[in-house]
């Protein structure tokens, strides 16, 4: 099983040096060591993953946070029979790891060596893949399944979830469907926007077209990429093979 | 019972600030607190909240209604109307429970599945132009 480890650029910080040494020792002890690629300004995830697969790797392990995993998933999803692993390091953007039952840090190596594999759905927005969520604020118009339209009169926060914690509503596993959560945004006296979670609408869907009656909306995809409306959100035909822990919530 | 189930049991929840227009279909439980115009079809249970305003023909396995519905209602098993429920349209169900104060303005047939009020309305609409 040739493994390839993809380190996020923020792991170059000195504070992670000791952890990475421990990590590599543990991986060697478990017999799952492999080549390492480091993200830099000049090396993209896509380049590293393509080179690794061309070199014979069949398991690509994202070492970093949710964004690292999402970028890796996008690069891997086009290739069949490639498995993705995840070693979460650091404290920021770590929502997916608990959902997959993967502990943060060195302990994740044991989950990796367990090789318990699940096939997860991946989303598509226009021609791009996404893994976690899409978030926007404003007056979105959603045309669902080409049969009905969802309209709001006041500003709302729209969160489309695939692999996310549903903002406290709880994790729901739906068969081949994603969930759109619409929450009214109330403007308080100081001009801050607050979400009224009691009035949250929850709509499962397979295909959704997003538009806006006025100016185009910015959609934050997987917490790092912006795409403007109009956009079509759907479920990709491919599934992501990913190594999960026994305590997974999905 | 569906009546006592909380929000999280519904696969689809249409909140009070949302307006759904068109043909809405679902396989699971549906809770409506907002507005719906068009048709609603679910093979699961339907709960219509007090604030809900529905202008649609409805088809569901079980239904609990506390809001306002303008349209025909087909329920294959049990239809429960609370004291604040208001239906303007024909109802077809196997079991009907009506609280004191509930309003039902339309025909009521207690044989769910034999006559489909939704398809009946559609047929009438498609046949009408040919007759003219």
Please state the ipTM of this predicted complex.
Answer: 0.81
The enclosing domain of A192 has a CATH number of: 2.60.200.40
Q: What does the DSSP assignment read for B90-113?
A: -EEEEEEEE-TT-EEES-EES-TT
- What's the pTM? 0.84
Distances (CA, A) of A7 to A20, A23, A240, B126: 10, 12, 20, 63
For chain B, the residues whose C-beta falls within 8 A of a C-beta of chain A are 8, 10-26, 28, 33-34, 38
Same domain, A130 and A213: yes
Residues of B whose CB is below 8 A from A153: 17, 19
E runs forming strands in B45-106: 45-48, 53-60, 62-65, 68-70, 73-81, 86-88, 91-98, 103-105
Q: Is residue A11 part of a domain?
A: yes
Mutate to test the interface with A, among B7, B10, B14, B22 (most CBs of A within 10 A): B22
pLDDT at A80 (0 to 100): 84
Of the three residues A97, A121, A145, the one that is the final residue of a domain is: A121
Contact at CB, B34 and A201, closer than 8 angstroms: yes
Q: Based on the fold, state whether residues A39 and A110 are members of the same structural domain.
A: yes
Domains in chain B: boundaries? 7-131
Which element (helix H / strand E) includes A187? strand A178-187
Q: Is the pLDDT of residue B5 over 50?
A: no
Are B24 and A147 an interchain contact pair (Cβ–Cβ within 8 Å)?
yes
CB contact under 8 A, B11 and A152: no
Chain B residues with CB under 8 Å of A169 CB are 8
Q: How many residues does chain B have?
A: 132
Residues of the domain holding A223:
125-237
- Is there a single domain that holds both residue A7 and residue A117? yes
- Tokens in use for A115? 């090789």
Window 73-132 of A: residues touching B by CB (8 A cutoff) are none
The residue with tokens 């290739």 is A79
Q: Chain B within 8 Å of A250 (Cβ-Cβ)?
A: no
Give residue A249's pLDDT: 84
Mark whether A97 and A180 lie in a shared domain. Answer: no
Give the count of domains, chain A.
2
* Gap between the Cα atoms of A75 and A39, Å rounded: 14
Examine residue A92 and state whether it is found in any structural domain, yes or no. Answer: yes
> What CATH number does the domain containing A106 carry?
3.40.50.10330
CA atoms within a 13 Å half-sphere pointing along the CA-CB vector of A88: 23
In this structure, the answer to whether residues A134 and A116 fall within a common structural domain is no
Q: Is residue B83 within 8 Å of residue B99, measured between CB atoms?
A: yes
* A202 inside 8 A of chain B by CB: yes
Q: Beta-carbon neighbour count of residue A226 at 10 Å? A: 9
Same domain, A132 and A105: no
Task: Flag whether pLDDT at B10 surpasses 90.
Answer: no
Question: From CA A46, how far away is CA A54, in angstroms rounded?
Answer: 12
The residues that bridge with B77 in the sheet, in sequence order, are none
CA B39 to CA B56: how far, in whole Å? 5
Radius of gyration of chain A (CA): 19
CB atoms within 10 A of CB A247: 11
| Residue range A36-87, pLDDT digits in tens | 999 998 889 999 999 999 999 999 999 999 999 999 999 999 898 899 999 9
Residue A182 in domain: yes
Q: Is residue A247 part of a domain?
A: no
Span A147-157, mean pLDDT?
A: 92
How confident is the model at residue A174, as a pLDDT?
Answer: 59
State the average pLDDT over residues B87-94. Answer: 95
Q: How would DSSP label each residue in A228-249?
A: ESSEEEEEEEEEEEEE--TT--
Residues of A in contact with B56 (CB under 8 A): none
Q: Angle at Cα A126 formed by Cα B10 and Cα A223, nearest 5°? A: 70
DSSP A146-159: TTEEEEESS-EEEE
**Averaged pLDDT for residues A194-208:** 79
Q: Check whether residue A53 and residue A131 sit in a common domain.
A: no
pLDDT of residue A46: 92
The answer to whether residues A99 and A77 belong to one domain is yes
* CA gap A234, A171 in Å, rounded: 19
* E strand or H helix that includes residue A74: helix A66-76
In a domain, A205, yes or no: yes
Instruction: Kindly report, residue by residue over B20-56, the tens digit of the pLDDT.
Output: 999 999 989 999 999 999 999 999 999 999 999 999 9
Asked whether residue A130 falls in the same domain as residue A116, the answer is: no
**What's the rounded mean pLDDT across residues A171-198?**
67
In a domain, A249, yes or no: no
Q: Do residues A86 and A62 touch, judged by C-beta distance below 8 A?
A: yes
Last residue of a domain, one of A121, A149, A178: A121
Q: Chain A: nearest CA to B100, how far in angstroms?
A: 29
Residue A169 pLDDT exceeds 80? no
Which of B42, B31, B73 lies closest to B55, judged by CA? B73
State mean pLDDT over B62-78. Answer: 96
- Percentage with pLDDT > 70 across chain A: 90
In a domain, A36, yes or no: yes
A159 touches chain B (CB under 8 A): no
Q: Which residue of B has its CA nearest to A199?
A: B15
pLDDT digits (tens, 9 = 90+) for A205-244: 999 999 988 788 999 999 999 999 999 999 999 999 999 9
Does a structural domain hold residue A248?
Answer: no
- Residue B1, pLDDT > 60, answer no
Question: Dihedral through CA B81, CA B85, CA B87, CA B91, nearest 10?
Answer: 0
Encode pLDDT of A93-137 as tens digits: 889 999 999 999 999 999 999 999 999 999 999 989 999 999 999
- Are A164 and A157 within 8 A, CB to CB? no
């Amino acid at each position: 099983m040739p493994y390839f480890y993809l380190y996020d650029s923020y792991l170059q910080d000195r504070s992670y040096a000791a952890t990475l040494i421990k990590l590599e020792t543990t991986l060697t002890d478990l017999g799952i060591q492999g080549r390492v690629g480091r993200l830099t300004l000049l090396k993209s995830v896509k380049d590293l993953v393509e080179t690794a697969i061309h070199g014979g790797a069949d398991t690509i392990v994202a070492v970093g946070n949710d964004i690292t995993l999402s970028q890796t998933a996008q690069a891997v999803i086009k290739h069949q029979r490639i498995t993705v692993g995840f070693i979460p390091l650091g404290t920021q953007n770590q929502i997916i790891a608990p959902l997959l039952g993967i502990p943060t840090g060195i302990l994740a190596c044991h989950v990796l060596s367990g090789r318990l594999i699940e096939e997860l759905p991946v989303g598509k927005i226009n021609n791009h893949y996404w893994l976690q969520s899409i978030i926007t604020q404003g007056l979105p118009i959603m045309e669902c399944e080409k049969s009905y339209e969802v309209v709001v009169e006041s500003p709302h926060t729209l969160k489309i979830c695939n692999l996310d914690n549903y903002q406290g509503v709880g994790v729901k596993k739906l068969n081949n469907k994603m969930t759109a959560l619409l929450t009214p945004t109330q403007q308080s006296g100081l001009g801050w926007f607050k979400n009224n979670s009691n009035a949250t609408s929850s709509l499962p869907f397979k295909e959704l077209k997003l538009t806006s009656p006025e100016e185009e909306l910015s959609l934050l995809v997987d917490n790092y990429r912006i795409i403007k409306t109009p956009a079509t959100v759907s479920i990709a035909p491919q599934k992501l093979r990913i190594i999960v822990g026994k305590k997974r919530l999905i | 019972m569906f009546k006592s189930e909380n929000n999280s049991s519904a696969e689809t929840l249409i909140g009070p600030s949302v307006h759904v227009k068109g043909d809405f279909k679902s396989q699971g439980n549906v809770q409506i607190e907002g507005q719906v115009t068009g048709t609603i079809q679910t093979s699961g249970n339907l709960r219509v909240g007090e604030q809900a305003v529905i202008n649609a023909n409805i088809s569901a396995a079980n239904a609990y209604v506390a809001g306002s519905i303008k349209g025909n209602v087909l329920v294959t098993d049990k239809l429960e109307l609370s004291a604040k429920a208001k239906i303007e349209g024909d109802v077809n169900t196997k079991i009907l429970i009506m609280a004191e104060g509930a309003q039902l303005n339309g025909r009521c047939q207690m044989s769910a599945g034999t006559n489909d009020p939704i398809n009946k309305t559609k047929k009438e609409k498609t046949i009408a132009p040919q007759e003219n």
